[in-house]
Structure 1
Amino acid sequence: MQGPPGRPSLEAQLQGRLWRGSSLSTAADPTLASGFTALDAELPGGGWPLRAVTELLTPQFGVLEWRLLAPALRGWWAAQALPAATAGRRARAPALRSLLLINPPHTPHLPGLQALGLPHAALVWVSAGTPAQALWAAEQAIKSRVAVLAWLPEARPEQVRRLQVNALSSDAPAFLVRPERAGQQSSAAPLRLVVQPGEGWGLNVHLLKRRGPAHEGWLELPAVPGAVEPLLTAAKRKPLPAPMPAPAPAPASPPTERADALARAVLQA
């Protein structure tokens, strides 16, 4: 249907806001490139959503999520361009927007995070005493448009829904790390991924939920940390070959029973 002259038609106004279930969503909401070409090709909008929470379901906390998210977080801070210099004044770099780490499973290792390209000055560690406090911290951070990486193993579906509602008005990424078994529960998060260790330095990723068709199979993503990559030889970049099974030991022969002296025949004189 055509609109009045000079005004876009209804179809043009809705373009990008509607999506068919058989295709990936192309909504106009901003996204953040993940740093993995194969993953961006499967994510609606071509990257991590910035007005939604993303759930990362993993069998082990503290390792895989950093290797998966580090490229995107580097890009998040790099996108904060320096302001233009004004006449007679020096251009000052803006304060970096913070990333709140809520209840990480291990004490954050700043040298390791810096090696991933994450500036330590922008990292804020929040250690909540209870699950309710962790949820409150995540909600307040999302409301304040602060980037969030929260480990919430005990979050209930209605609590995740509340975080998702708050994320609709934020332009910062929000990631919730939860155990893999949480994939059996319903969730209001529009994007949910299962992350497992792959061969060598790789990651295996399956999109459990997205705005679009169901994702089939697994993505194999190379995830060698930037500081480690120059130290690896070509052989070290590949997974180690499976060890050959050890030969089964030969069955021991049963001990030969020695006749007792009392069981021997008596010699007749």
Structure 2
Amino acid sequence: MTSPPGGLPLEAQWQGRLWRGSSLSTASDPALPSGFAVLDAELPGGGWPTRAAVELLTPQPGVLEWRLLAPGLRAWWAGQALPPAQPGRPVRRSRAAAPSAAMRTLLLVNPPHTPHLPGLQALGLPPSALIWVAAGTPAQALWAAEQAIKARVAVLAWLPEARPEQIRRLQVSALSSDAPIFLMRPERAGQQSSAASLRLVVKPGDGWDLQVHLLKRRGPAHESWLALPAVPGAVEPLLTAAKRKPLPAPAPDPAPAPASPPTERPHALARPVQHA
């Protein structure tokens, strides 16, 4: 390729925006580690993408999302914190280094259950940074999610009735935000097209595992399922080694013994006559 006079080569201009279909995308935008090494190895960029919307498709809303997303969100919040001050040395907070208040906020749009703050705190998510939006209609939920994405706020939105063109609007808005954005949809939505750059199907696995299938990613198709150990942090100390493993399959019931054929009983009139 040739470069324009006085400009960068075209290869450098498109670095991180193009990828071969047989390999994972190496986006130039930083990725957020998910907390699962097996999953990060299959995600373009090695983690949850930024400047993009991620769709999570689940069979039942509000059950598996937190166990999958909590490690990554916890690491994201830790990355927003400023380094501790050293004794005798003041902390200089430059405008470029200090995180904005919006970047430390997580907006929950239309969750199916009332957020349990002690449980979220046990997962490492500070309750003071959570904002709960109870939308009255699907249109209000979409509006709240889009406005939050444009404000560069981290978003977890449950949008069971969103249409493909509405997901496209959210994906376009996400291109200008470097905060994590997750859209929770029902499993049946996997049959629809979507502009989201990453789509995952999440199901309960054996024991405390999660079964994750990458339905869409920037790279080759992913055919298999990933088993992710996702024991909640507050529950893990209470589990023994035996309880961490899936329960063994119950033994099949023994086959009933074949019934013996009924013996023929002679008729009363067929008995021999007894002489006195």
Fold shared per TM-score above 0.5: yes
Q: Do the aligned partners of 1:82 and 1:91 also contact (CA within 8 Å) in 2?
A: no
Cα 1:121/1:15, change in 2 over 3 Å: same
Q: Do the aligned partners of 1:3 and 1:9 also contact (CA within 8 Å) in 2?
A: yes
User: For 2:161 and 2:196, how far apart are their aligned partners in 1?
Assistant: 15
2:124 alignment partner, SS class: coil
The residue aligned with 2:274 is none
Q: Do the aligned partners of 1:84 and 1:91 also contact (CA within 8 Å) in 2?
A: no
Residues 57-206 of structure 1: pairs in structure 2 closer than 5 A: 57-82=57-82, 95=101, 97-206=104-213
User: For 2:68 and 2:164, how far apart are their aligned partners in 1?
Assistant: 24
Structure 1: gaps (5+ residues): none
Cα deviation 1:191-227 (Å, max 9, x = unaligned): 0000111111111111000111101211111111122
Cα 1:74/1:134, change in 2 over 3 Å: same
1:32 alignment partner, SS class: coil
The residue aligned with 1:236 is 243
Q: State the AA in 1 paired with 2:193.
A: S
User: For 1:38 and 1:133, how far apart are their aligned partners in 2?
Assistant: 37
User: For 1:30 and 1:242, how far apart are their aligned partners in 2?
Assistant: 43
Question: In the TM superposition, what is the alpha-carbon distance from 1:61 to its structure 2 partner?
Answer: 1.2
Q: Do the aligned partners of 1:148 and 1:175 also contact (CA within 8 Å) in 2?
A: yes
Question: In the TM superposition, what is the alpha-carbon distance from 1:175 to its structure 2 partner?
Answer: 0.5
Matched residue pairs, number?
265
1:138 alignment partner, SS class: helix
Aligned-residue Cα RMSD (Å) equals 3.0
Question: In the TM superposition, what is the alpha-carbon distance from 1:243 to its structure 2 partner?
Answer: 1.1
Q: Do the aligned partners of 1:83 and 1:91 also contact (CA within 8 Å) in 2?
A: no
Cα deviation 1:130-189 (Å, max 9, x = unaligned): 111111111111111111111111110011011111111111111011111100000010
Cα 1:128/1:251, change in 2 over 3 Å: farther
User: For 1:254 and 1:161, how far apart are their aligned partners in 2?
Assistant: 71
Q: Percent identity?
A: 81
Q: Do the aligned partners of 1:85 and 1:91 also contact (CA within 8 Å) in 2?
A: no
Question: In the TM superposition, what is the alpha-carbon distance from 1:14 to its structure 2 partner?
Answer: 2.5
Q: Do the aligned partners of 1:24 and 1:44 also contact (CA within 8 Å) in 2?
A: yes
